[in-house]
Amino acid sequence: MKRILWLGAGLLVAIVIPFVLGGADMFHRLGSFPFALLLGMFGMIIVCWCLNTMRLRLLLGESSSAVSVPRSLGVVMAAEFAYCATPGGSGGPLTLMAVLSRNGVGAAKSSAVFATDQLSDLLFFLLALVAIMFYAVFHHLGERMEWMLTVSGILVVGGLCLCAGFGHFHRQVIRFNGRLLKRLNTKATTRRRWARKLLHFRNALADTLKMPGKRLAGVFLLTCMHWGLRYSVLYLALRGLGVDVEWAWSFLIQMLSLSAGQFSLLPGGAGAAELTSAALLAPIVGKSTAAAAILIWRAVTYYFYLVVGGPVFLLMVGRPLLNKLMRLREA
């Protein structure tokens, strides 16, 4: 119950921030927003779920026969709900592996699926940033966007370097992690459990490289389609509010805001993502427009995941795992 109250408090803060920022003018902005466009944006999220379902089945390969298409969709929705409802998104991979294991998919296979999924995402963001850099060569983006582009590039390249470094120096990382946990007076059983987890993840990364090239190419294509749609939501929200913006600019704002949310370790980045996006948007489009855009963007890409994915999560996973995920913050 305490963890659920914590999530509720975070959601309340996240909702209050746009209202405080935009004031009464925000309601006027929201009232003029095209309802058909809002429905279309929710439809884009449904398409994103379908794309991720296809990506999951492609990654499962022969194991996909153990998971029906409707159940695969449920796995995706439940995992993304857990990602949004837990600190730092820690519940997403646990939910994915738990549901897949209930359907006969082994831990090694589900870990490889998760590792491939994350590497595909990082590769997409890296290539997207490279494309924006080429765009910047022929267009003047301004000092603010150049700064955002630099920070985003550092985050993505850093993530890829960490994955590559862990794959190559995994023994040293496991030893260092063991020594660190020992200094923190952690039990020997806990240290061994973490060593097994790290080694298991390293093996999953190795399995990723053994997948057929065509399958990996298909996964990456679906990844591009998914993130291209999802990262167009803020752009469409601003256009619906009458603001003429560049897609690359809205892409960078979302990337930095959601990264700040992840580092905050709050469920779904609630509060931190709103504050970061407000700080980046308000000086350029005005407080009321920024507040309205942020509220629409988060309603489509965050609250919708919680409202629709919550019942699916409870149906597929149940309350015991939900309670476990809520306790992860104490671990």
CA-CA distance, 99 to 212, in Å (whole number)? 25
Q: Among 293, 304, 305, 298, which Cα is nearest to 15's?
A: 298
Distance CA 239, CA 293 (A): 9
Domain spans of the chain? Answer: 2-330
pTM: 0.80
pLDDT at 147 over 80: no
Enumerate the β-bridge partners of residue 267. 87
Contact 202, 193 (CB under 8 A): no
Residue 331: pLDDT band (50, 70, 90) is: very low
CA terminus-to-terminus distance, the chain: 17
Find out whether 79 and 96 touch, Cβ atoms under 8 Å.
Answer: yes
Predicted pLDDT of residue 73: 93
In tens, the pLDDT along 169-222 reads: 666 766 766 666 666 667 777 767 767 766 766 676 676 667 788 888 999 999
Beta-carbon contacts of residue 292 (< 8 Å; ≥ 6 apart): 18, 22, 26, 29, 30, 33, 237, 241
The closest of 82, 41, 143 to 323, measured between CA atoms, is 82
